[in-house]
Structure 1
Amino acid sequence: MTLRFPIDQLQKYQRKAIQIDETLMPETSLKQRYPQLIGASAFQVTGTLQAEGEGWRSRLQVSGQLTVPSTRSLAPVALPLDLRIDELYLDQELAVAELEEDEATPTESNEDIIIPIVNGEIDLASAIEDNLLLAIPTQIYTPAEAAGEALPTGEGWEVLSEADFAAAAAAQANQPNPEFAKLKLLLDQQAQATDQPDDQEDESKE
């Protein structure tokens, strides 16, 4: 069984739920959409696809693992995922109308994730890939980085965490500029030299 279902073929199922138990290999497709991805395991997909109202509802459990770069050091990080996906597929016109109604009158009852049916088929594979990409955190750390261990360094360089970088920038902003300090000292010396003849002249008059 595939994870793409033409609507004309779904009609024969009428109200009967379609049982899904498939293995999805999303690595190639995901890398095209998310070039930073290092790798992806096979993902096990189980659940149902069943007619509901004027559309079709998918209820899926998706489990597997992505390998993504650390946002701090770019080292590979294993990211296990176990997602529950519940989406309602509607004809494009119905989907647009439903989305507009939800935006106009938001309530707890219209929290369905609505997906327009494109090209006359329900593409669960693409929907699963969308959810996998959305599940990648914005901040990703290796176990050692998450535990706060020292960051990698080299000759003339070092990796700073965001917090350390912000602290260093603040400290540098508050630190006096040595060039300005030299200039101030020079101006003070010139002012003293300018004042000195006047003082001597006053003493001679006395």
Structure 2
Amino acid sequence: MKWSLDELQKYRFEPLIFSETVDLKESLMKREKEILDVSTIHLEGKLSVQEFDILLHMVVSLDVTLPSARSLEPVSVPLSLVVDEIYVPKHVADYTIEEEDGTVIYLDKDLIDLSEAIEDAILLNLPMQVFTEEEEKEHKMPSGNDWVVVSEEDYLSEKTAQESNKVDPRFAGLKDLFKDESNDEEQD
């Protein structure tokens, strides 16, 4: 998805509307090692050529396969992203931002290549962790011989319970004192 700025000038009074399918699997997998697979990417959008800039509004739809955070099983994650960018040609010297609806990109060539914008949007919106459907339903954490993974909530509640049962070492001697009194009462 590349256009030269000269080519885009014919869309000065009417936006360039596009609907394309691209394959960026290889470059995405090279940039992010966690990605196991990427479907073809569907793009719907428009480029509006203004006097000093070019506005891009695009919706990116795809499926990305990532490893489960618990079992490393492959999980397909559907993504639908909105990309809004403003391209400023290199001949424009004094560009002021009138809108804050997108990222401003200053072009160093007279060419707009959407591949990098698409890849960046996808990589920035990848979820930090994913789980298989079974893992989400069960809420069961992995375990092994003498180890178990616990959730943060379970860890904090267990830690609180341990702290409440813990005896302050300054009062340890008093604990034995009360034990003797209870034994005396039983003998009476």
Identify the TM-score tier after normalising by the shorter chain.
0.7 to 0.9
Q: Which residue of 54, 68, 71 corresponds with 1:70?
A: 68
Q: Which residue of 125, 133, 144 corresponds with 2:123?
A: 133
2 CA distance for matches of 1:86 and 1:151?
40
Q: TM-score, normalised by structure 2?
A: 0.72
User: 1:106-145 to 2 correspondence within 5 Å?
Assistant: 109-145=99-135
**What are the superposed Cα offsets for residues 64-108 of structure 1, whole Å, 9 maximum, x if unpaired?**
101112334333221101223222211358599536xx8xxxxxx
2 CA distance for matches of 1:94 and 1:32?
34
| Count of paired positions | 172
**Letter of the structure 1 residue corresponding to residue 32 of structure 2:** Y
2:178 matched residue in structure 1: none
| Contact residue 95 and residue 116 of structure 1 kept, 8 A | no
Query: Is 1:60 the equivalent of 2:63?
Result: no
Partner SS, residue 48 of structure 1 = strand
User: 1:1-206 to 2 correspondence within 5 Å?
Assistant: 3-91=1-89, 97-98=95-96, 109-168=99-158, 176=166
Partner SS, residue 129 of structure 1 = helix
| Contact residue 64 and residue 79 of structure 2 kept, 8 A | yes
| Contact residue 73 and residue 159 of structure 1 kept, 8 A | no
2 CA distance for matches of 1:23 and 1:121?
20
2 CA distance for matches of 1:36 and 1:90?
33
**What are the superposed Cα offsets for residues 178-202 of structure 1, whole Å, 9 maximum, x if unpaired?**
xxx8xx89xxxxxxxxxxxxxxxxx
**What are the superposed Cα offsets for residues 47-69 of structure 1, whole Å, 9 maximum, x if unpaired?**
22220231111222221101112
Which is worse superposed, 30-39 or 139-148?
A: 139-148
2 CA distance for matches of 1:127 and 1:20?
15
Q: TM-score, normalised by structure 1?
A: 0.67
1 CA distance for matches of 2:153 and 2:94?
44
Q: What is the Cα deviation at residue 161 of structure 1?
A: 2.9
1 CA distance for matches of 2:125 and 2:18?
22
CA spacing shift, 1:133–1:174, aligned 2, 3 Å:
farther
CA spacing shift, 1:151–1:121, aligned 2, 3 Å:
same
**Letter of the structure 2 residue corresponding to residue 77 of structure 1:** V
1 CA distance for matches of 2:156 and 2:92?
49
**Ranges in structure 1 where 5+ consecutive residues have no aligned partner:** 103-108, 186-206
| Contact residue 73 and residue 132 of structure 2 kept, 8 A | yes
**What are the superposed Cα offsets for residues 128-157 of structure 1, whole Å, 9 maximum, x if unpaired?**
111111221224232233334312222233
| Higher normalized helix content (fraction of residues) | 1
| Contact residue 69 and residue 75 of structure 1 kept, 8 A | yes
